[in-house]
Each structure stands twice: as structure tokens, then as C-alpha cells.
Structure 1
Amino acid sequence: MKRITLLLLMLATASVFAQKPVKPNLNKVLSSFKEGKLDEAKTMVDAATTYEKTMSDPKTFYYKGLVYAALDTTSNEAFKALDPNAFETALEAFKKGDEMNGKGKEFFVQEANGLPVLKTQQIAVWANGYLNKGATLYQEEDLEGALKNFEKVQKITPNDTTAYFYAGFVSNAMENYDKAEANFKKYMELGGKSSDAYSVIININSGPRENKEEALKLVREAKAKFPKNTDFPKVEIGLLIDLKRIDEAKSGLEAAVAKEPNNKILHFYLGYANANLNNNAEAKKNYEEALRIDPKYFEASFYLSKLMYTDAANLKKEMSSLGISAADRKKKFEIDKVLVDKLKLALPYWENTEKLNPSDQEVLDVLYSIYRDLGMEDQTKRIEKRYKELGLEN
């Protein structure tokens, strides 16, 4: 009986020793991590965060960050299943380790070759993995997936401009304009140097948001930050014209033309500004200069044609307002003689514009009206045929 009791006591004692938990050891955490035994490393480092001799050691949380970052990115599904929230856990562990470690100190792991790998290098590798994955998904047109990966990079390296830049473009492509603007503004706040960030948020405000005043404010900021950029002044001019601030636009255009005398767009805009100010003679010169630079510049030809048709259009309007009295009939006859001359003057401009774009309905409509007013039946029939070819109604 005594033997049995002693045997049971020995077994109970052995059982107690067998159940006694292993003391956490940071060296074992690191060796398991290096050997790819992430399950063992996780168990050990989790215990180390609550064990009194290791819970106050900054390296405990640095190692926990490494282990969980590895769990987050591993292709081993069994390891990945150990913690579905490994990404956030790794971030929190790294953050706590840094807070405990103090400023000016850098965590590192010594490789087999004896060289240290700094925490900043390890974090960069982690972030680059998500950056590359995001770029791949973007190329595959998985915009939501790409954005999620770029946003993870932002969490890993919150002061790196690249992820904000990419996230801005993806958000814009998704028509999530608030998020696009927020990303680009953060990019610029962190010191991003690309003027494309400004270009996109200017386009967002001048286009989808229809907030041209905000777009004008942004383009002027961009001009100050990127004085060598030749596009922002042109965008500013276009916005001023859209906002009906023509005088302001004209002065800016004249300065821009002086710097870029061979820029057809600037001459065109200056013509547009002058036409809106009823400086028709100057506008004509501006449009003609734009066409001298580029004879195939449709917009310049179109607006020049409209300018040359102005007198004829006004005369037709005046004639249509006259009555049937003898005095009115006499006046109509007098106006008609002047109208014919004005129509003949405008006609070659419109015919030239049609050559540049034979499918533009407004050009065809004006030509059709001129041909009818001048009694040019063959040409009228030609335009009618063209309408049918294009499926248009006249």
C-alpha cells in the first residue's frame, strides 16, 4: 500500500513538473523566427509580453512585431491562420517597442554573416511587399485591392510619400474624389515633389466637383510651388475665362504669350478673351496667329469663323425683326445687299474649318445656312447629303 501511495505521489509530482510552463526566452524567440518556425516563435513571444522578466524589455515587442509581420505576409496558410489580425498586431507591437526603446536607439537583428539588419530595413521590406502587390493589382484593374494595399503601406510607413501618391491616383480612378484629394494633400504635406498631385486635384475641382474657384486657388498655389511648370499658367487662364474674369485672364495671357510666342494655345485663348471683350480686330489677329503656328488647329479656325460671321448674324437678326411695311421692305433690301457681302466674306473661313473637321454639326449648320442665303443650291445639296451620311437632321 505504501509503495502504491509513493508511486502515485511520484506520478503527481512528475505531472506537476510536466505541466509547468516553459519560461519565455527572447533568444529562443529570435532563433525560431530565423528558422521559420513561426508557430513556436509566436507562442514564445506572446508569453514573453506577460512574463515579468521580459515584459519590460523593448526587444520583446520588437521581436513580436517581427514575428507577427512574418505571420501577416507568410504564404504558409497554417501559420497565417494563427492570427487573422497579424497586420494590426505587428503594427501595435512595433509601436510599443519604439516607445519603450526611446529616441536615438535602433533595433536590429544580426544575420548569420555577422552583419546587422536594422528595423528600418525590415519595415521597408514589409512595406515594399504591399506596395508591389498594390501596383500589380492596379495593373490588373483591381482598384479596390490596390487601394487596400497602398493604405497598408501608409500604416507601416506613415511618412513615406509614395503610398499616398499611388493611393491618390487609384482613388481618383475609382471616382472617390474626397479620398483622392486627401491622399494627394497628405503627399504634398509630407514633401512630395510631383506636380501631378496638384494637376489631379485641380481637375477634380474644375471638373466633377464644379468648384472652379477652388480649382483657381489650387492652380495658383501650384504656380508658386512649380514656377518652371508651363501648364499651370494655361490652366489658370482657362479657369479665369470659365469664371468670366476676362480682363484678368487677358493680362495673364499677354504675359504668357510674350514668354511663349509660338504657343498656339496661348494665342487662341488670348483671341477668346479679346472676343469676349468685343476687341474683335485683336481677336482676329490672335486666332490667325494661332493658325499660322498650326494651320490644322480646329478650335482656332472655328472661333475665327464665328468671329467673321458675327456681322452677318447680326444683320440676319435685324432683318428678321422687320415688318412688312414699305419702309421695312426697303430697309430689308438695303440690309440684304450688305448681308451678301458679309456672307461671302465669312464663307471661306467656314469652308476651311469644315476641311479640318468634316463631321462637326455646328460647322455644317452654319455652312448650310450660308449656302441657302447665297442661293448656292449645289453646295446646299452637298451639305444635305453629308447630313444623311452622318445620320444628322437639318
Structure 2
Amino acid sequence: MKKLIFTLALAAFTTVAFAQKKVARSAERNFKKGNLEEAIQEAEEALQHPDTQGESSVLLTKAKAQTRMFDMEEDITASTVSLGRDAFQNFEKVMEMEGGDKSSKVGKDVYKDDVPELPENLRPWNKNTLKMSAFNKAIIAYEEDDFEMSYEMFSLVSDIDPTDTTANFNAGFLANDLGKFDEAKKHFNRLLEIEDYNKLNTYYFLVQIASGEEQDPELAYEYVMKAREDYPEDKTLAEFEIQLLLQMNKMDEALASVQEALKSDPDNPGLLLRYGYLLEQSGDLDGAYAQYKKSVEADEEFFEGNFYAGAILLEQARKIIAEINELSDDEWEEKAPEMSEKADGLYSDAIPYFTRASELREGEASAEALELLFQIHTRLKNTEEAEKYNQRLISIYGPDWMER
């Protein structure tokens, strides 16, 4: 009797196991016929049963069916992304079940080359198919100005193949543009790990994210110094280095860096401006003015150079005025006229710089230069010129602009 019961139990177990094998085979047949939802449903059923849940080929069938459904999707939405992500994760699980062996039968199937021109029944519908399909959808979404979905698709491509430089850069670029800075850093940092890839623009983005969005000049400086090891002649990196040293109040290092940079690029307006600023901070106003003046000579339309040159002349003039106000009565008659004339000369010298600066900006962006021109002409009793700038300021802020 016991033997009979055991035999019946064994028969039942064998029947159930056979049934699950049959479900798994049916899933594969439905996939080949294009009955994708049925294939996925049957694969999921087989994956729930102890006898077939460990079979990588069953999960592969599900991943293939998901990939084919993903490829067929015409609307690019969050659900499309989710479907592609699920397929990718299932391919990853398949390879885990295979112990990462790409030379196994299943492993070869996962990584077999795909040729889109082949008939559908001859395509492998594997990771390579998923990658190509996601890339195409990324391009379509971008052309339709759907940058969010374009990012998601490029991100999927780069996760499928972390060495794909085009996908990683595009994903990083779009993520940065969308304000997804952590995601942007992920993709850009991947690019730094790829040999023989031109990483210069990648470094630019990482520096800007660290210094601008994250307000972390130390991290930005680390990126700059790492980049300069690979691109020692790049002028933009040299400017970044100086700018970051200034942010970190490392004036001596910044001064040494800007002097070194100017040896190879003596007419760089940005470098000359920073050199002038460093000299100004050290108290050398004459030296600072000389560098600001050089920056304008190098580029007459350099707003900052014009503004800083004018501003330092004003600073010198105001110092003289302050000194005049400290004179004793006896000193006043002897020194004040000459000192006032010198101050007025500095005010006059500042006019061309602020005039040019005001012409290089429009609206409120020009207002500070316009106000300074109004004040200078008022002091110098250039009534008509002062009124001209008064009217321009009224056009920007209204008649009560002085009360702002």
C-alpha cells in the first residue's frame, strides 16, 4: 500500500513538472508567433513554479517578448521606459543565472549581434536589440522636443552599455539641462573611465555642476586639476583653475596660476581681468588698472574689462576726495585744488569705459553703468550728458529711479 501511494505521488509530481515544462515551451512558441502578452504570461507562470523557476531560458523568453513589445511601442512614455527597463533587468538576471557565462547557449543568445534589416522572426530580440531600439526612441523623442523621454531612453542605452560614449554624453547633457544633476554626474563620470575618449567637454560639465549647482569649489578644483593632467594646454581649464582658487580665497596660488597662464596666452581678456582683480585685492590699484586696460585693448567689447577699468578709476578718485575731506584748513588751500583736479581727471578717464560698458548691455543689465555715468557727469557739471543718462534710467525704472 505504501509503495502504491509513493508511486501515485511520484506520478503526480512528474505530471505537474511536465505540465510546467509544457507551459515554458508554450511561452516560447507564443513568442515566436508574436503572441507576446501570452508569452509573457506563460513565462511568468513557469517562473513561479519550483520546477521551472530556475531555468534561465524561461526568463530569457520573457525578456525577449518584452523587448519586442518595447520595440513595437510608437508612443514614447514613462510606461514605455518602464517596459524597456524591465526587459533590461530580466536580461541581467538571465546572465546572473548563467553565472555571467556569455559563451553558454543562453549567454550567446543574450549577446548575439542584431541586424535590424533581418525579418522579425530572424532577429534575436536580445540586449543588443533593446539597446538599438532605445537609441532610436531617444532620437525620435529629441526631435519631438520631448527631452525628458529622450534622456530616459539615452539613459537606458547607457545602462545597457556603459561604454557607449554617445549615449552617456547625450544622457549627461540632457540630464544637466533638465536639472537632474546627480544623473548627469553619473553619466559624465562614466565617460571619465573610458580610455581614448576625448573627455574635455565632460570635464567642463562636471566643473560647472560642482562649482555652480553644488557650490563645491573644492570638488570643482579637483576636476580641473585632473583634467589639466590630460589637457595641460587648454586655456579654459586654466581660467577655471584661477576662478576656483579665487573662490577658495587662495590668492597666492591664484596669482601664480594666472601669471603662468598669461605666459602662453598674454592677450586673453579673462586672464588679464583676473590678474587685475588679484592685484586690486592686494592693494595695487595702479597695477590692477593696467591689467584691466589691457583686457579692453585685447577685446574692446569685453564688458567686464570696461566696467572694472572704469570702476577702479572711480575708486582712486573717491580715495582722493576722501583725503581732501580730511585736510586741515591750512592744507586745504594749498592742496585741495590740485587734488580735486586730479580726482576730476580720473572721473573723466572713467567715462569712456562706462560708456562702452553701457552700450554692451541692454535694459537693466546696463543700469549700473548708466547710474555711474549720471553721477560722474553730474559731478563734472556736464549737465546735458547727465540729463541724457537720467532719461535713459527713467525709461528703465520710471521717474522715481533715484528712490529705488
User: Could you tell me which amino acid in structure 1 is paired with residue 380 of structure 2?
Assistant: L
CA distance 1:102–1:291, change in 2 (3 Å): closer
CA contact (8 A) 2:60 2:90 kept: no
CA distance in 2, matches of 1:26, 1:253: 69
> Quick check: 1:362 aligned with 2:362?
no
TM-superposition CA deviations, 1:217-265 (whole Å, max 9, x none): 2222222233343311111111222333222112111111111123222
Look up the equivalent residue of 1:70 and give its one-letter code. R
Amino acid at match of 2:34: G
Which secondary structure state, in structure 1, belongs to the residue aligned with residue 249 of structure 2?
coil
Over 3 Å counting, the alpha-carbon distance change for 1:85 and 1:375 in structure 2 is: closer
Answer yes or no: is the 8 Å Cα contact 2:171–2:187 preserved in 1.
Answer: yes
Show the counterpart of 1:254.
259
Distance in 2, matches of 1:52 and 1:298, equals: 73
Which residue in 2 is equivalent to 1:165?
A: 169
One-letter amino acid of the counterpart of residue 142, structure 1? D
> Which residue of 186, 192, 205 maps to 1:188?
192
Seen in structure 2, the aligned counterparts of structure 1 residues 332 and 157 have a Cα distance that, compared at 3 Å, is farther
Does the C-alpha gap of structure 1 residues 30 and 228 become closer, same or farther in structure 2, counting only changes over 3 Å? farther
Q: Secondary structure at the match of 1:107?
A: helix
After TM superposition, the structure 1 = structure 2 runs for residues 1-394 of structure 1, keeping only pairs within 5 Å, are 24=22, 33-38=31-36, 41-42=39-40, 59-75=57-73, 87-88=85-86, 91-93=89-91, 95-97=93-95, 99-100=97-98, 103=101, 105=103, 106-108=107-109, 122-189=126-193, 193-320=198-325, 327-328=328-329, 331=332, 334-358=335-359, 360-391=366-397, 393-394=401-402
Report how far residue 45 of structure 1 moved. Answer: 5.4
- Give 5+ residue unaligned stretches, structure 2: 1-14
Which structure: larger Rg?
1
**TM norm structure 2:** 0.73
Alpha-carbon distance, 1:314 to partner: 0.5
C-alpha distance after superposition, 1:97-148 (max 9, x if no partner)? 564276351524799999xx896x9422211222332343345443443343
What amino acid maps onto 1:128 in structure 2?
Answer: M
SS of residue paired to 1:247 = helix
Distance 2:24 2:74 in 1: 23
Residue identity matched to 1:184:
F
SS of residue paired to 1:299: helix
CA gap 1:34/1:387 in 2 versus in 1, 3 angstroms: same
**1:246–1:21 CA distance, 2 compared to 1 (3 A):** closer
Letter of the aligned partner of 2:336 in structure 1? I
Counterpart CA distance in 2 for 1:122 and 1:332 is 93
* 8 Å Cα contact 1:130-1:150 kept in structure 2: yes
Q: Mark the CA change 1:233 to 1:90 in structure 2 (over 3 Å): closer, same or farther.
A: closer
Residues 95 and 101 of structure 2 are in contact (CA less than 8 Å); yes or no, is this contact kept in structure 1?
A: no
1:354 Cα offset (Å): 0.6
Q: Structure 1: which amino acid aligns with 2:396? A: L
CA distance in 1, matches of 2:290, 2:256: 17
Output the TM-score relative to the length of structure 1: 0.75
- CA gap of 1:138–1:281, structure 2 versus 1, over 3 A, is same
Contact 2:162-2:168 at 8 Å conserved across structures? no
CA contact (8 A) 2:306 2:356 kept: no
Q: 1:247 and 1:181 mapped to 2: Cα distance?
A: 31
1:325-383 Cα offsets, whole Å, 9 max, x none, are: xx448527733431222322441332343134246233233333332333332332232
- Count of residues paired in the alignment: 365
Cα distance in 1 for partners of 2:357, 2:83 equals 61
* 1:151 and 1:167 in contact (8 A); partners too: yes
2:138–2:149 contact (8 Å) kept in structure 1: yes
In structure 1, what is the Cα distance between the partners aligned to 2:392 and 2:85?
64
One-letter amino acid of the counterpart of residue 124, structure 1: N
CA distance in 1, matches of 2:308, 2:381: 25
Note if contact 2:39-2:65 (Cα within 8 Å) is conserved in structure 1: yes
Moved more, 251-260 or 298-307: 298-307
Distance 2:123 2:371 in 1: 72
Specify whether residues 95 and 47 from structure 1 end up closer, same or farther in structure 2 by C-alpha distance, changes over 3 A only.
Answer: same
Where is the helix percentage greater, Structure 1 or Structure 2? Answer: 2
Gap runs ≥5 in structure 1: 1-16
- What amino acid is the match of 1:271? G
TM-align CA RMSD:
4.0
Cα pair 1:68 1:90 within 8 Å, conserved: no
